[in-house]
């Protein structure tokens, strides 16, 4: 694991976007796994800067991690609409090659199986962008999800729905179900770019990095992946940095910015 800590969330997002741009330059027709959540807004903002400077998404294929069950793509809080607004409409991407689970599918389990097969048909994911839920979830894999799950339909934790309520129009409730890539689907990506920012992620982040690999903290499974690059800010990394447990034993390469001179 390469753990890169930045002074601010903006710097962490900019570094993540630069890494994506680098990979896209090298392999323009790559399969990119995309994520949603507040953390990603700054990442996409910076990626768009690279696109304006000449980077192209024309040949890329994308698969998002998840989508709410029961939200049409026209609903502003659906992840399809979110991706459209934050990234797709600012790029030259071919929308036919942008994929999200269909939240309106009559049979969500069947839709999940179709989505998993579509990822496999595309040759698997080259680079997966990933965030972190406050309770340690990745995509919508809540605590307790077995590590061998493929794309599936889930019931969301109350805390996850509460955390995501800020993306919904006032008075509207967050759906209680979603379709999400499974933990096995995520782990099958060649490389994972994990962006974690904000002090509210500190507990989950340190548990995921330094705790035991345990389905109760789904993100802890990332310790098992051979190619994870982390872009985190100091606020999220606080206890990771102070614990002194980031050592060679865990195969971590830690890069921390120098403390600014006062």
223, 226, 229, 235 alpha-carbon torsion, rounded to 10°: 10
SS3 state of residue 128: strand
Q: Is 222 in the site for ligand GLP (CB under 6 A)?
A: no
Which member of 132, 192, 217, 230 binds ligand GLP (CB under 6 A)?
132
Closest separation between CB of residue 225 and ligand GLP, Å? 16
Nearer to ligand GLP, 38 or 211 (CB): 38
Rounded to whole angstroms, how far apart are CA atoms 232 and 135? 17
Closest separation between CB of residue 151 and ligand GLP, Å? 13
Q: Is 65 in the site for ligand GLP (CB under 6 A)?
A: yes
Nearer to ligand GLP, 5 or 156 (CB): 156
Judge whether 220 and 212 are in contact, CB under 8 Å: yes
Nearer to ligand GLP, 30 or 139 (CB): 139
Sign of the Cα torsion 30, 35, 36, 40 reads negative
Secondary structure letter of residue 107 according to DSSP: S
Binding mask 21-40 for ligand GLP (x = CB under 6 A): --------------xxxxx-
CB atoms under 10 Å from CB of 27, counted, come to: 14
Say which residues have a Cβ less than 8 Å from residue 4's Cβ, sequence separation at least 6. Answer: 12, 15, 229, 230, 231, 232, 255
Relative to beta strand 177-180, strand 152-155 is antiparallel
Q: Is 60 in the site for ligand GLP (CB under 6 A)?
A: no
Closest residue by beta carbon to ligand GLP: 37
Binding mask 146-165 for ligand GLP (x = CB under 6 A): --------------x---x-
Residue bearing tokens 């990771």: 240
Say which residues have a Cβ less than 8 Å from residue 40's Cβ, sequence separation at least 6. Answer: 34, 86, 129, 131, 195
Nearer to ligand GLP, 164 or 202 (CB): 164
| Catalytic residue check, 66 | yes
| Catalytic residue check, 142 | yes
Closest separation between CB of residue 28 and ligand GLP, Å? 25
Length of the chain: 262
Where along the sequence are the contacts to ligand GLP (CB under 6 A)? 35-39, 65-66, 131-133, 139-140, 160, 164
Residue numbers annotated as active site: 66, 135, 137, 142
């Amino acid at each position: 694991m390469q753990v890169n800590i930045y002074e601010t969330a903006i710097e962490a997002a900019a570094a993540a976007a630069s890494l994506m741009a680098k990979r896209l330059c090298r392999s323009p027709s790559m399969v990119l796994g995309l994520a949603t959540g507040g953390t990603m807004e700054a990442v996409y903002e910076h990626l768009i800067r690279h696109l304006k400077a000449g980077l192209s998404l024309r040949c890329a294929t994308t698969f998002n991690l998840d989508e709410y069950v029961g939200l049409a793509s026209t609903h502003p809080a659906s992840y399809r609409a979110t991706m459209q607004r934050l990234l797709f409409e600012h790029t030259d991407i071919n929308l036919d090659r942008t994929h999200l689970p269909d939240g309106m599918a009559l049979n969500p389990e069947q839709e999940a199986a179709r989505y998993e097969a579509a990822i496999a048909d595309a040759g698997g994911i080259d680079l997966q962008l990933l965030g972190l839920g406050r309770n340690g979830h990745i995509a919508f894999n809540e605590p307790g999800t077995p590590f061998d799950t493929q794309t599936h339909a889930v019931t969301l934790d109350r805390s996850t729905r509460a955390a995501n309520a800020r993306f919904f129009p006032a008075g509207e409730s967050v759906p209680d179900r979603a379709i999400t890539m499974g933990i096995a689907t995520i782990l099958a990506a060649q490389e994972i770019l994990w962006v974690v920012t904000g002090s509210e992620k500190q507990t989950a982040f340190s548990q995921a990095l330094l705790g035991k690999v345990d389905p109760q903290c789904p993100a802890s499974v990332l310790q098992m992946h051979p190619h994870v690059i982390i872009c985190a800010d100091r606020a999220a990394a606080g206890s990771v940095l102070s614990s002194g447990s980031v050592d060679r034993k865990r195969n971590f390469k830690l890069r921390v910015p120098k403390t600014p001179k006062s």
